[in-house]
Amino acid sequence: MADAVSMDKIVSLCRRRGFVFPSSEIYGGLGSSYDYGHYGVLLKDNVKQRWLSAMVQERDDIVALDSSIILHPQVWEASGHVSGFTDPLVDCRFCKKRFRADHLDESECGQRPSKHPGETDNCDLTEARQFNLMFETRVGALEETGVPVYLRPETAQGIFINFKNVAQIARRKPPFGIAQVGKSFRNEITPGNFIFRTLEFEQMEMEFFVPPTDAEEWYGYWVQERYDWHRRYGIRESHLRIRPHEADELSHYSRGTSDIEYLFPIGWSELEGVANRGDFDLTAHTQSSGTKLEWVEQDGSRYTPHVIEPALGVNRSMLAFLVDAYDEEVVADRDRTVLRLHPQLAPVKAAVLPLIAKDEGMVAKARALYEELRVVVSAEYDDGGQIGRRYRRQDEIGTPWALTVDEQTLEDDTVTIRDRDSLVQERISIARAREHVLDRLQQPWSTPKPD
């Protein structure tokens, strides 16, 4: 069963409010590529911050890394990406379109979009051929002499090749992890379903190095930790599930993988993957580079750590949060669209609104409050249009609190604070407003949407 929220509604809200735009639009667009506007950048940054906080700041066994996008080409030979990071593709000799052989029943025929490729009499599909997903480019000034290199298709390999640096310099001992957030690139052929699958995207990956005998236990631990993280930031239980891979689905490096799936408008799909990669990567890079990537105990005994990897796409995570937060309701005979985002994810935490934009007294108080708030949280000042319309605008971008300066403020220095979800309005003193917002931001939150 697909979610009641359609992808079209999400796409249209994202465009209307400047979260996400189709990329290169004035040139007709580029498939599976998107640009992020102001609120999209703020939301995406908050997703990354919450992930980094859970991975690095709130723990003492994981450190951060930022490795290069372009790595030595041998990295991708050793990792198996040059030979094996492929999708099977078929071409249709009739309509000239290209499809993923394993996604035919999700693709549209080039002539009859209501049918799948291969379903009409005219369809003439070739045999499947393997197509490598890595983008290739060259380092060096000259086309002829430049060295061919790849844009990384995942951030993980940059972590493995730095294992020795981090273990020595950060003085970590297994079990310990290295976390990285950064861009990855894949020449995806299947059309994208908005930001679910794009040519370039950001990944949040963490490689957790453990003694081999403890790998199974840590694998189970990380599947649960990551599931809990999505729940902590508001994803409804009914829309989240863990799906262990069947043996024939496992990647070449994996001893066990579980997808954390979300019920997207396109149906249940992978949100995050958690894999037990064994010693595949450290062994492969040791053999290929000649540098021993292993752990040496104080008594001189040595072993190659096993690796547990949770890997999540920032953009896919942002899409899941948007879908889960999207809500429509009728309040006092008027439609309201609201993003019920966790306050810590919301692009703007507090909006400050002078009730009458032409009233100098109200404007002065509202500007002063806004300037005080914006030092500590992302805040917005809005004096454009009717107050009701201003509330609606903030609801649509998910702002949890709107503080309104009105006549009474001029008498007693209090403002109303309106809660996005309950619509309850309380009066608080201006002097306490900053503390009030900061307090509420730290309180646990769960969505009022039915599970």
SS3 352: strand
Name the residue nearer to ligand ATP (CB basis): 230 or 285: 230
Contact 239, 223 (CB under 8 A): no
Q: Nearest 10 degrees: CA dihedral of 405, 326, 51, 313?
A: -140
SS3 110: coil
**Residue 203 near ligand ATP by CB under 6 A:** yes
> Shortest gap between Cβ of 260 and ligand ATP (angstroms)?
8
Name the residue nearer to ligand ATP (CB basis): 278 or 313: 313
**Residue in the shown chain whose Cβ atom is closest to ligand ATP:** 313
**Residue 226 near ligand ATP by CB under 6 A:** no
Size of interface with ligand ATP, in residues (CB under 6 A)? 15
Choose the binding region for ligand ATP from 69-77, 220-228, 229-237, 269-277 (rule: CB under 6 A): 269-277
> Shortest gap between Cβ of 44 and ligand ATP (angstroms)?
12
Name the residue nearer to ligand ATP (CB basis): 204 or 353: 204
Choose the binding region for ligand ATP from 19-27, 98-106, 268-276, 419-427 (rule: CB under 6 A): 268-276
> Shortest gap between Cβ of 30 and ligand ATP (angstroms)?
14
Cα angle 246, 244, 211 (rounded to 5 degrees) comes to 105
Containing 16, the helix (H) or strand (E) segment is helix 7-16
**Residue 355 near ligand ATP by CB under 6 A:** no
**Residue 316 near ligand ATP by CB under 6 A:** yes
Choose the binding region for ligand ATP from 294-302, 309-317, 337-345, 363-371 (rule: CB under 6 A): 309-317
Contact 64, 179 (CB under 8 A): yes
Contact 279, 271 (CB under 8 A): no
**Residue 349 near ligand ATP by CB under 6 A:** no
Choose the binding region for ligand ATP from 91-99, 299-307, 312-320, 415-423 (rule: CB under 6 A): 312-320
Name the residue nearer to ligand ATP (CB basis): 201 or 222: 201
SS3 219: helix
Name the residue nearer to ligand ATP (CB basis): 89 or 311: 311
Choose the binding region for ligand ATP from 52-60, 270-278, 286-294, 376-384 (rule: CB under 6 A): 270-278
Nearest to 276 by CA among 249, 254, 298: 254
Name the residue nearer to ligand ATP (CB basis): 345 or 405: 345
Cβ neighbors of 430 (< 8 A, separation 6 or more) are 365, 369, 409, 413, 414, 415
State how far the Cα of 278 lies from the Cα of 443, in Å rounded to an integer. Answer: 39
Name the residue nearer to ligand ATP (CB basis): 107 or 198: 198
In sequence order, what DSSP letters do the residues of 259-306 get, joined into one string?
Answer: EEEEEETTEEEEEEEEEEEETHHHHHHHHHHS----EE-TTS-EEPPE
Binders in 92-111 for ligand ATP, by CB under 6 A: none
> Shortest gap between Cβ of 398 and ligand ATP (angstroms)?
22
**Residue 311 near ligand ATP by CB under 6 A:** yes
The beta strands (E) that lie in 23-169 are given as 34-36, 62-65, 86-91, 98-100, 129-132, 136-139, 147-150
> Shortest gap between Cβ of 114 and ligand ATP (angstroms)?
25
State how far the Cα of 347 lies from the Cα of 16, in Å rounded to an integer. Answer: 15
To the nearest 10 degrees (0 to 180), the angle between helices 360-373 and 430-442 is 40
Binders in 156-195 for ligand ATP, by CB under 6 A: 186, 188
**Residue 201 near ligand ATP by CB under 6 A:** yes
> Shortest gap between Cβ of 275 and ligand ATP (angstroms)?
7
Name residue 336's beta-bridge partners.
Answer: 329
**Residue 313 near ligand ATP by CB under 6 A:** yes
> Shortest gap between Cβ of 376 and ligand ATP (angstroms)?
32
> Shortest gap between Cβ of 320 and ligand ATP (angstroms)?
9
Contact 51, 204 (CB under 8 A): yes
Nearest to 316 by CA among 273, 272, 257: 272
Give the x-and-dash track for 122-161 against ligand ATP (CB under 6 A). --------------------------------x-------
State how far the Cα of 350 lies from the Cα of 368, in Å rounded to an integer. Answer: 14
**Residue 216 near ligand ATP by CB under 6 A:** no
Name the residue nearer to ligand ATP (CB basis): 205 or 380: 205
Contact 203, 90 (CB under 8 A): no
Q: Residues in the site for ligand ATP, rule: CB under 6 A?
A: 154, 186, 188, 197-198, 201, 203, 270, 272-273, 311-313, 315-316
